[in-house]
Structure 1
Amino acid sequence: MYLDPDWATSALLIIDVQNDFASGPSAVAGTADRIPGLARLATSFRAVGRPIVHVVRSYRAGESDVDLVRRAAIESGDAVVQPGTTGADIPAALLPHDLTLDWNLLRSGEIQLIGPDESVMYKPRWSAFHRTPLDRRLRDLGIDTVVVAGCNLPNCPRATLFDASERDYRTVLVVDATSQTTPERLADLELIGVRLRTVDDAVAELSVIPPAPGAHRCEEE
């Protein structure tokens, strides 16, 4: 009753899918392989006018407002996904059009709108809800179901799912659009009520909801 997703009031969160984590010096194994499925998932959300939030992170060499596990490295001058670099960019296949990220806006805690139902948001820690405007944004849009996919399940996607559940959102993980999944990690998430879906599942369930006003449903190629 409280756990099953309502796709008509859902939003897709794509977590930390940036060039450095897909194919750069800090690539997370399996992330690049997930991009085609993520692109298909994003296309399906756009087709029915459901919101998409690309959640990104960034580090400036020498800064200290960083997760503890990498703080020493960043303070000493190491940095990946540095603002303004191609490594920090979102892969083009996931976007509706060419895009230049406004890092000053994003790192100030604001959301960058990139379409009528699509946006980019920066997070300073694991969870997309920690010190971000995400919860307010989702409430304003009438969202009650959070669909998560992206990079490195045991870190940021998992933290985001826990925080979403604590805020009473219905939660979905798209398993084959998320890197670093294992049976044990998925079983742990099911214990807190996360529903597991494949890209095929999500596309099929989205296809039967009424498109939002102004959305243009299209057939998959």
Structure 2
Amino acid sequence: MPITTVDPRTALLVIDLQEGVAGAKTIHPVRDIAARAGELADAFRRHGQPVVLVAVTGSAPGRTDNGDASARAFPDGFADLLPELGWHHSDHTLAKNRWGAFHDTGLYEHLTALGVTQVVLAGLATSKGVESTARAAYDHGFHVTLATDAMTDFTESAHQHSLSSVFPDLGETGTVTEIITALTKS
């Protein structure tokens, strides 16, 4: 269902739009997605709403068919936020070592301390970092909105599955323009 409203205290969560993935082969160029997320961040800042910029700095332990991701070393500068996000001193930044941004990061406590009842999500990857964070936000009782044109993935099928099969059960969706319009009306 398209976005219907923006709560009085809504936070923007931008997931993994950082230098280490800027050149990744995604279905939409990462820097274009970061620019759209930056538009959202600017609008949230203008309206006095919280902006949280999340960077992945490690991986969860455990064996997978794709190997042990926890043994992966990230090079210097990997977690640096993309300049298109327009980082501002009022933004809350956090590092994560899981797909989702809530696990062991203090994000839930930060948002509840601010009185946040709704989160808007953007970033990379639609089916991993964004979806995992959206699921946790939903489980924590937040209203969830997903900025469909401010996220990308590594495959079209994974991206579309999240957009059409998962996100409608977790929250509302909207484009950057639709979300900014709803934010302005709130």
TM-score (ref. length: structure 1) = 0.72
Counterparts of 2:45 and 2:16, CA distance in 1 = 19
Q: Distance in 2 between matches of 1:152 and 1:28?
A: 11
Indicate the RMSD between aligned Cα atoms, in angstroms.
2.2
The answer to whether the Cα contact below 8 Å between 1:173 and 1:197 also exists between their aligned partners in 2 is yes
1:125 matched residue in structure 2: 98
C-alpha separation in 2, matches of 1:36 and 1:144: 25
Deviation digits for residues 114-148 of structure 1 (CA, Å, limit 9, x no counterpart):
32xx2101111111111120111111000010111
Structure 2 unmatched ranges of 5 or more: none
Aligned residues of 2:19 and 2:79 also touching (Cα < 8 A): yes
| Equivalent residue in structure 2 for 1:194, among 150, 158, 171 | 171
Distance 2:171 2:117 in 1: 13
**Amino acid in the other structure paired with 2:68:** A
Q: What count of residue pairs does the alignment treat as equivalent?
A: 177
TM-score normalised over the length of structure 2: 0.85
Indicate the structure (1 or 2) with the bigger Cα radius of gyration: 1
SS, match of residue 93 in structure 2 = strand
Please state whether the residue corresponding to 2:54 is helix, strand or coil.
Answer: strand
Unaligned runs of 5+ in 1: 98-113, 210-221
SS in structure 2 opposite 1:172?
strand
Partner letter of residue 96 of structure 2?
K
**Counterparts of 2:69 and 2:106 in 1: how far apart (Å)?**
27
Q: Give the superposition deviation at 1:74.
A: 5.1
In structure 2, how many angstroms separate the alpha carbons of the residues matched to 1:195 and 1:36? 22
Hey, what's the Cα distance between the residues in 1 that align with 2:48 and 2:42? 10
Which AA in structure 2 matches 1:121? L
Do the aligned residues in 1 keep the contact of 2:122 with 2:146 (CA within 8 Å)?
Answer: yes
